[in-house]
Structure 1
């Protein structure tokens, strides 16, 4: 004699609860979500009430707030570059970083850019040096560390609130050993 497995039908409340839970998960590959059950009016039949714990499903968590995306860096305008090369326009301020260690140069650059923006400057010159005059003391010595690192620092989120863009300087301002940096308007600057 085989035993028949007894199956119980879900109550309307249990079907609604299951449907709510199923809607908040991604179905497995090849499966579809169950249809939303029709809301059935409650009848006067004596059914056992569903436990309170099952009746209140946790609300789905809201997605984490997105950080505002940073605008892309923009190159210095062609007209501005031409005016700088021809001597018709000057940079507003200059900082010379070459000869400094990385950490010292990084802090000096951050302070300089903040001061320049607060002063209302829009175009500054950052001299990194070309790195060709370093003495090679060991196998792993690098030349031009600041020349390589300053563009990286200018792209970091903490300086993007200050920097619109940057470009290699013209030869009379240092060429590949310097950068023109365009600054955003400061809040206090008019």
Structure 2
């Protein structure tokens, strides 16, 4: 978040900007031209990976760092593993949701979902699995997700932290 300029900073900026002149053959762009340029770039450019991660974090929280560390070091058991290699999106989503429901009912607190990286590192299952895990109907099961440690599959796998079952 940008802070507003102080009066003395605004004065200094005014002195600096009065000494700047456009290159020969180029005019000074107007505010509407600048806005149109940024709008066009935003429409054409695909979202950056950092923006995608930010959107994902808005949808679903990441696992707490200490808990992720315990899972990676196997101090907290990984209850089950699911390998989605070779499945299409429809089947993979159905299998994933069934797997999570079963793991939750079994009382597991963490599971490993192996999506694979895809041919060029941008596989469809790798991209879509976090979206599926953020679905509203899984909110009572999934506590958070995180990329797996290298020895558990690295970028081609996800740790999924599960919520505790309510005591009955």
Q: For this structure pair, what is the TM-score category when the shorter chain's length is used for normalisation?
A: 0.5 to 0.7
Q: How does 1:169-180 map to 2 (within 5 A)?
A: 169-180=148-159
Q: How does 1:45-84 map to 2 (within 5 A)?
A: 73-84=60-71
User: Can you give the 5+ residue segments of structure 2 that lack an aligned partner in the other structure?
Assistant: 1-57
Distance in 1 between residues matched to 2:75 and 2:165, nearest whole Å:
25
Alpha-carbon spacing, 1:113–1:83, altered in 2? closer, same or farther (3 Å): same
2:114 is the alignment partner of 1:127? yes
Match of 2:103 in 1: 116
What's the C-alpha RMSD, in Å, of the aligned pairs? 2.3
Match of 2:50 in 1: none
Match of 1:185 in 2: 164
Distance in 2 between residues matched to 1:77 and 1:123, nearest whole Å:
12
Distance in 2 between residues matched to 1:85 and 1:176, nearest whole Å:
13
| Bigger radius of gyration among the two | 1
TM normalised by structure 1 equals 0.53
Deviating more after overlay: 72-81 vs 167-176: 72-81
TM normalised by structure 2 equals 0.59
The offset of 1:75, in angstroms, is: 1.9
Alpha-carbon spacing, 1:90–1:133, altered in 2? closer, same or farther (3 Å): farther
1:64-115 deviation per Cα after TM superposition (whole angstroms, max 9, x unaligned): xxxxxxx963321222222233343331111111111111100000100000
Higher helix share: 2
Give the length in aligned residue pairs. Answer: 111
Q: How does 1:15-164 map to 2 (within 5 A)?
A: 73-132=60-119, 144-164=123-143
Distance in 2 between residues matched to 1:72 and 1:109, nearest whole Å:
18
